């Protein structure tokens, strides 16, 4: 079998990964039985609108409710209202949606069903500050956390303890109705309490844990908010709470499944695929350096994988922002990888976010080609300077190597694929 051109293989693998996590494929098989009473659909995330439409398409009974999704990610629904709000920094539209959502689930009975649809982005899209905390305060803390290099677990620990809806509080508001949550996971390890900051599940972390995260990353809080955390006033719902004991939580799509779909594409085209991990964390550029070391070993010795081969990984890297450029964790990984690897005629790579948005730019990611460094030099681009400035999007835009998909309306986080050709 003739092996396809590397870029074609990389793009096909990425498309398969995204397709495996599309709500129209993963939501219908997980739908619960219809209740004797009402069915209320709620939810939040970049995939929430598409998940709501998948529910509508496959639900014959009475249905109503609302979900909130990111701007540009909405889809048309007939029975479920779809609201757009800002991401990744929360805004007033999201706060109003969170308040309405709590009102919609209050007063339900045990014969009713609440179907909650969650995906990546839900944390920012459901901002409902704790009593005494303003939305401006939450925006400030969110911006600082996103720039600090904190992991998603750390960020969401703080979010849960500065909220009136996260950390199981939305789930408690649904009681005594039957509560079923369907989630598309965007977090390493598929930890339920970190998907959209766990609005419908019990939270084992504490106010003290949130304070430790803030201290570790040097992030300030208003004095009154710090005092409330120190007194434990904003504690989240804890495991064993009887109001959540009957709640169900099902992950319907995750990075591992998507990477498996990408691997199948490669194998079917005659290229061995190796899934390194679906839960990679750490500084994006450092993850790039580590993968460059592995690739050099493969190129020089054929170990641990003989070319041609495709290396796949997922998870959620982080970026500590020190410069003022335009970047994202996937393009920062790719630029770190390429600068560490240096010129190599056998290596092509693609790194992109499965939601179609890497960082603050409406660009999914980028491609690395064997001639990337040579073309950059011809244009007077300094790769290391762009990396130091957290300006990887500008670098790849100048080369015409960006990967642009538009909103995919799903989100299983980072996708990284490195293709190593056989020596010519």
What are the domain boundaries of the chain? Answer: 6-17+256-420, 23-253
What's the confidence (pLDDT) of residue 423?
Answer: 85
The tens place of each residue's pLDDT in the chain, 424 residues long, gives: 556 699 999 999 999 999 999 999 999 999 999 999 999 999 999 999 999 999 999 999 999 999 999 999 999 999 999 999 999 999 999 999 999 999 999 999 999 999 999 999 999 999 999 998 999 999 999 999 999 999 999 999 999 999 999 999 999 999 999 999 999 999 999 999 999 999 999 999 999 999 999 999 999 999 999 999 999 999 999 999 999 999 999 999 999 999 999 999 999 999 999 999 999 999 999 999 999 999 999 999 999 999 999 999 999 999 999 999 999 999 999 999 999 999 999 999 999 999 999 987 789 999 999 999 999 999 999 999 999 999 999 999 999 999 999 999 999 999 999 999 998 7
Do residues 207 and 215 make contact, with C-beta atoms less than 8 angstroms apart? no
Do residues 75 and 51 make contact, with C-beta atoms less than 8 angstroms apart? no
Cα separation, 187 vs 193, in Å, equals 10
In degrees and rounded to multiples of 5, residue 78 shows phi and psi of -100, -40
Beta-carbon contacts of residue 332 (< 8 Å; ≥ 6 apart): 284, 285, 288, 317, 319, 387, 390, 392
Three-state SS at 43: strand
Looking only at the bridges linking them, the beta strands covering 39-44 and 81-85 are unpaired
Give 6-17+256-420's CATH code, choosing from 3.20.20.140, 3.40.50.300, 3.40.1480.10, 3.40.50.720.
3.40.1480.10
- Structure tokens, 210: 């949130």
Beta-carbon contacts of residue 13 (< 8 Å; ≥ 6 apart): 262, 263, 265, 266, 273, 310, 312, 350, 417
What's the confidence (pLDDT) of residue 360?
Answer: 73
CATH 3.40.50.10180 given to domain 23-253:
yes
Cα separation, 259 vs 156, in Å, equals 25
What's the confidence (pLDDT) of residue 359?
Answer: 87
Q: What pTM did the predictor assign?
A: 0.93
What's the confidence (pLDDT) of residue 3?
Answer: 66
Residues pairing with 275 in the sheet? 312
């Amino acid at each position: 079998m003739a092996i396809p051109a590397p870029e074609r293989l990389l793009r096909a693998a990425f498309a398969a990964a995204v397709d495996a996590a599309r709500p129209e494929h993963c939501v219908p098989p997980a739908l619960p039985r219809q209740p004797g009473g009402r069915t209320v659909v709620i939810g939040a995330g970049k995939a929430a609108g598409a998940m709501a439409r998948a529910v509508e398409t496959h639900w014959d009974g009475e249905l109503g409710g609302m979900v909130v999704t990111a701007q540009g990610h909405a889809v048309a629904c007939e029975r479920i209202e779809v609201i757009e709000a800002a991401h990744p920094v929360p805004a007033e539209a999201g706060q109003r949606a969170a308040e309405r959502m709590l009102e919609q689930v209050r007063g339900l009975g045990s014969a009713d069903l609440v179907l909650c649809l969650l995906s990546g982005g839900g944390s920012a899209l459901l901002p409902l500050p704790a009593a005494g905390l303003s939305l401006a305060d939450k925006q400030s803390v969110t911006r600082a956390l996103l720039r600090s290099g904190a992991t998603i677990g750390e960020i969401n620990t703080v979010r849960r303890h500065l909220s009136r809806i996260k950390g199981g509080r939305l789930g408690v508001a649904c009681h005594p109705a039957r509560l079923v949550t369907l989630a598309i996971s965007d977090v390493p390890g598929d930890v339920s309490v970190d998907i959209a900051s766990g609005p419908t599940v019990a939270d084992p972390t504490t106010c003290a844990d949130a304070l430790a995260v803030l201290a570790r990353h040097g992030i300030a809080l208003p004095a009154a908010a710090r005092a409330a955390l120190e007194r434990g006033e904003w504690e989240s719902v804890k495991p064993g709470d009887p109001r959540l004991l009957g709640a169900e939580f099902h992950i319907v799509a995750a990075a591992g499944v998507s990477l498996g779909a990408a691997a199948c594409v490669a194998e079917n085209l005659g290229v061995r695929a190796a899934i390194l991990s679906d839960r990679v964390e750490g500084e994006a550029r450092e993850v790039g350096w580590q993968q460059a070391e592995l690739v050099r070993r493969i190129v020089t010795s054929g170990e641990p994988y003989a070319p041609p081969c495709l290396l796949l990984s997922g998870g959620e890297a982080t970026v500590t922002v020190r410069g003022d450029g335009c970047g994202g964790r996937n393009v920062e990984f790719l630029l770190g990888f390429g600068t560490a690897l240096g010129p190599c005629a056998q290596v092509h790579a693609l790194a992109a976010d499965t939601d179609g948005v890497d960082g603050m730019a409406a660009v999914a990611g980028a491609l690395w080609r064997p001639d990337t460094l040579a073309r950059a030099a011809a244009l007077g681009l300094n790769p290391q300077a762009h990396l130091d400035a957290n300006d990887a999007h500008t670098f790849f835009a100048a080369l015409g190597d960006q990967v642009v998909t538009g909103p995919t309306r799903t989100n299983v986080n980072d996708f990284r694929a490195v293709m190593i050709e056989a020596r010519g």
